[in-house]
Structure 1
Amino acid sequence: MAGPVKDRSVLIVGLNYAPEPVGIGPYTQGLAEALVARGARVRVVCGKPYYPQWRIYPGHAQGGWSHDAENGVQVTRCPHYVPANPTGLKRILHLASFALSALGPAIRAAFDKRDKPDLVIAIAPALLGTVTAGIAARLAGARLWIHVQDFEVEAALATGLMDQGRWSARLARWIEARLLQLGDVVSTISPQMCAKLAAKGVAEARIIEMRNWSDDRFTPDPAGAEAIRAAWNLHGKIVALYSGNIARKQGIEVLVEAARLLRHRGDIAFVICGEGPNRAELERLASGLANVQLHDLQPAEQMGAMLTMADLHLLPQIAGAADLVLPSKLTNMLASGRPVAATTVPGTGLHAEVEGCGVVTPPGDAQALAEAIAALAGDPERRAVLGQAARQRAAERWRKDAIIDRALTFVAGG
């Protein structure tokens, strides 16, 4: 498969990468491997895998940098600080440590006379890594493409990790805007987030939407789904599934509150599979609720079975984070052909994507969410109609090749 990047040398600088199963990592991996498939030579400078557990994975904990070829991509993994409890200052140190650790490999790539990059891609978060990528692009004389998965400064403000009124918040916003304006091209994952880029001073001619795509590895697996139901004692239950990171911006506590309101419904099971800094607190809140099961995040090879096992998917989000990120897990929820119950407000990107193929309730309103889940549980025909609409929307809006080719055409022609 050829295209605008054939025979080009590309350097990607991004904290998260495979084998992380959720979040940004799978999409950076997917982009890198798609570039290779289109004839590019691709190097990735990333961190050691740690997400969503916030612990370095076994096999990667040894110190120093590592260099490997993975599916045609040359991958350099950098050591960095990973806090067990990523509070505000610790999270900044975590991101800064990667930006510094990645600087050496990025500069070496920029001075590689045999294969100097002519395109450098910075994945944000970590926005501080954009500095590293920008230095490499300047030294190599390459174009800089910044791809924003998450507005981390505003997310920190929305979740209380940073105080809105302090000078540090104003400084962080100013730095964010300045860094974003360094990009020759700046992309992000929803129309609403594109509008935020423009509001932060990025020229509209440089902005493009490159949304996350559904993962075609996660094919329906009815046999695997039945095996999971048997192992977890879910036969005869309507399963409402949440699978992913357990952190502040998800507002996942509302799921436990909704489950408490529906504890009299023996036919509905809330299944939460995930890791993250708020896992222990969630377990405490769910203690004693027979209709809630908490499990570890399942491996990627199980995801087809997991998505098939669910009767409906749960996608909570706090109000303040509504247009700071479009949850990447939504793509595979829709592709699974199951309805989505999300918490958001009209006018947001999440609301626009879920409307017509799921139900939407106000953020933090456990009563409304419980009523919506109960209504879906009691109406299999409506679940089927919404699920079919979800699968159709995924096919129309979330196809990987179409998304990447459009972005690459824009980048090459800009």
Structure 2
Amino acid sequence: MKVLVLSQHFWPESFRINEVAQSLVEQGCEVTVLTGKPNYPEGRLYPGYRVGGVQTERHEGYEIVRVPLCPRGSGGAFRLVLNYLSFIFSTALLGPWALRGRRFDLIFVYGTSPILQAIGAIVLKWIKGAALVTWVQDQWPQSLEVTGFVRNRSALAAVAVVVRWIYRRCDLLLVQSQAFLAPVSRMAGSTPVAVHLNPGDREQPQPAPLPPVLAALPWGQVFHIVFAGNLGTAQALDCVLDAAELVGKEVGVRWVLVGSGARSAWLREQVHARSLDQVLLPGRFDPVCMPALFERADALLVSLNRGEALAQTVPSKIQAYLAAGRPILASLDGEGARVLAEAGAGLSAPAEDAQGLADAVRALLQRSPAERAEMGEAGRRYYRAHFDPAQLARDLVGHFERACALLRGK
């Protein structure tokens, strides 16, 4: 099967779709990726890439075709909107030219925000006569409202109209959690909707060692709580700092927030202003270092803001945390909390509840090392049963075959 993957973000940016594309190749698919020029999360183009022109490269057995976009810059809504719109226009206008003469059985959209990127895929569907499958990772317009990006009711209603138009031009919609099924189905019209979970990380043959700045931390001497990922507006980082302040320094806990994002500068300012010496911000590191980092952690932290759309989401870091076999501390609602409770992999508090998170930290500290180890093993067992990348890749190919059959039957 010839598959065109359309995703605004792709390798060397760190997104789950990178490994999904490789898994599809291993399932026998002939994969081409249509994406933008890498600039996430710092907002600057990676070395070796230029803003203009179409660039192509080979990676891990498939071709990547990169169209121009406006880098997101150091922050601000205007540059972010330009970043999104430039990719939509590039895929819709330049994508057909860059992929001229090529035939595809199916176009697969990795539907992170903004879901509007699927507009380019719809244009390519019409031109190529291919089936179209969109994997919905974020609910629009709900996620715009939850993050505070858009609050105007008329604007949100207009976005909802566009999202319904996109959904109803797909042959199949996949959603990343069971909780997405009902709200997406309500907008999808006659387009069928199915659940397809985000897989965990593929095993690395040779995991990378810890960078020196992380290796130098006093692992084993104090209790290290590690957060790894985007330091953005949806991660409820103010709640994390409040919980760190409530737990205090006397219990020997360190909070290690690894990553970067829109709130990196704010975090540094707050840590300094509040004298939170127990909160460390070492920066962003290559994802290949994360298994070694997780192995050293005493607990792994995931947090999200309060809101219906986010409560229906399972953050992708949960899969990585479960696979690591370490106890998990969570500050979130809904599907993410349900997965952790079902797995028995850790302790959780409601979203944006700093006192609840602090209490969960203290409760975990009171557990014996053997009890914490069993939480980690329970998480690992749950991961193998639900998030195995190879099995989910086989399931994904099955979804593709169904979408192609649906197209042929129209």
Distance 1:278 1:218, change over 3 A: farther
Q: Which amino acid aligns with 1:162?
A: V
Taking structure 1 as the reference length, what is the TM-score of the superposition? 0.89
1:292 aligned to which of 279, 289, 302: 279
Q: Secondary structure at the match of 1:315?
A: strand
Q: Following TM superposition, by how much is the alpha carbon of 1:337 offset from its aligned partner in structure 2, in angstroms?
A: 0.6
Spell out the pairing of 1:318-333 with structure 2 (5 A cutoff): 318-320=305-307, 321-323=309-311, 325-333=313-321
1:39 matches 2:39:
no
Spell out the pairing of 1:14-33 with structure 2 (5 A cutoff): 14-21=7-14, 25=15, 27-33=16-22
Query: What is the rounded CA distance, in whole Å, between the counterparts of 1:87 and 1:226 in structure 2?
Result: 31
Match of 1:5 in 2: none
1:179 matches 2:166:
yes
Assess if the C-alpha contact under 8 Å between 2:211 and 2:289 holds in 1.
no
Spell out the pairing of 1:102-181 with structure 2 (5 A cutoff): 102-108=91-97, 111-112=100-101, 115-125=102-112, 126-163=114-151, 165-181=152-168
Task: Give deviations 1:312-352, integer Å, cap 9, x for gaps.
Answer: 1111101114235321111110000111111123xx21111
Query: What is the rounded CA distance, in whole Å, between the counterparts of 1:181 and 1:107 in structure 2?
Result: 21
1:188 matches 2:175:
yes
Q: Which amino acid aligns with 1:244?
A: G
1:374 matches 2:362:
yes
Query: What is the rounded CA distance, in whole Å, between the counterparts of 1:97 and 1:254 in structure 2?
Result: 34
Query: What is the rounded CA distance, in whole Å, between the counterparts of 2:33 and 2:379 in structure 1?
Result: 33
Q: Which amino acid aligns with 2:357?
A: L
Q: Which amino acid aligns with 2:256?
A: V
1:71 matches 2:71:
no
Spell out the pairing of 1:4-403 with structure 2 (5 A cutoff): 8-21=1-14, 25=15, 27-61=16-50, 63-108=52-97, 111-112=100-101, 115-125=102-112, 126-163=114-151, 165-203=152-190, 206-217=192-203, 224=209, 230-287=215-272, 288-320=275-307, 321-323=309-311, 325-345=313-333, 348-355=334-341, 356-379=344-367, 380-403=369-392
Q: Which amino acid aligns with 1:255?
A: V
Unaligned stretches of 5+ residues in structure 2: 404-410
Larger mean CA deviation between 177-186 and 88-97 belongs to: 88-97
Q: Secondary structure at the match of 2:20?
A: helix
Q: Following TM superposition, by how much is the alpha carbon of 1:192 offset from its aligned partner in structure 2, in angstroms?
A: 0.7
Q: Secondary structure at the match of 1:301?
A: helix
Q: Following TM superposition, by how much is the alpha carbon of 1:136 offset from its aligned partner in structure 2, in angstroms?
A: 0.6
Taking structure 2 as the reference length, what is the TM-score of the superposition? 0.90
Distance 1:219 1:248, change over 3 A: farther
Assess if the C-alpha contact under 8 Å between 1:334 and 1:387 holds in 2.
yes
Distance 1:244 1:203, change over 3 A: same
Task: Give deviations 1:160-212, integer Å, cap 9, x for gaps.
Answer: 1101x4311110111112211211011121111122211223447x2122211
Assess if the C-alpha contact under 8 Å between 1:209 and 1:407 holds in 2.
no
Distance 1:377 1:61, change over 3 A: farther
Larger mean CA deviation between 375-384 and 179-188 belongs to: 375-384
Q: Following TM superposition, by how much is the alpha carbon of 1:369 offset from its aligned partner in structure 2, in angstroms?
A: 0.5
Assess if the C-alpha contact under 8 Å between 2:4 and 2:107 holds in 1.
yes
Query: What is the rounded CA distance, in whole Å, between the counterparts of 1:343 and 1:172 in structure 2?
Result: 29
Assess if the C-alpha contact under 8 Å between 1:111 and 1:139 holds in 2.
no
Distance 1:171 1:89, change over 3 A: farther
Q: Following TM superposition, by how much is the alpha carbon of 1:103 offset from its aligned partner in structure 2, in angstroms?
A: 2.6
Assess if the C-alpha contact under 8 Å between 2:75 and 2:262 holds in 1.
yes
Q: Following TM superposition, by how much is the alpha carbon of 1:293 offset from its aligned partner in structure 2, in angstroms?
A: 0.6
Assess if the C-alpha contact under 8 Å between 2:4 and 2:31 holds in 1.
yes
1:407 aligned to which of 393, 396, 399: 396
Assess if the C-alpha contact under 8 Å between 2:35 and 2:66 holds in 1.
yes
Q: Percent identity?
A: 24
Query: What is the rounded CA distance, in whole Å, between the counterparts of 2:86 and 2:52 in structure 1?
Result: 14
Q: Secondary structure at the match of 2:311?
A: coil
Assess if the C-alpha contact under 8 Å between 2:56 and 2:65 holds in 1.
yes
Assess if the C-alpha contact under 8 Å between 1:376 and 1:382 holds in 2.
no
Assess if the C-alpha contact under 8 Å between 2:5 and 2:107 holds in 1.
yes
Assess if the C-alpha contact under 8 Å between 1:148 and 1:186 holds in 2.
yes
Q: Which amino acid aligns with 1:17?
A: F
Q: Which amino acid aligns with 2:316?
A: S
Query: What is the rounded CA distance, in whole Å, between the counterparts of 2:249 and 2:381 in structure 1?
Result: 34
Assess if the C-alpha contact under 8 Å between 1:45 and 1:105 holds in 2.
no
Q: Secondary structure at the match of 1:286?
A: helix
Q: Following TM superposition, by how much is the alpha carbon of 1:61 offset from its aligned partner in structure 2, in angstroms?
A: 4.1
Query: What is the rounded CA distance, in whole Å, between the counterparts of 1:208 and 1:244 in structure 2?
Result: 27
How many residues align? The count is 396
Larger mean CA deviation between 389-398 and 72-81 belongs to: 72-81
Which aligned runs of 4 or more in structure 1 are off by greater than 4 angstroms? 85-89, 218-221, 223-230
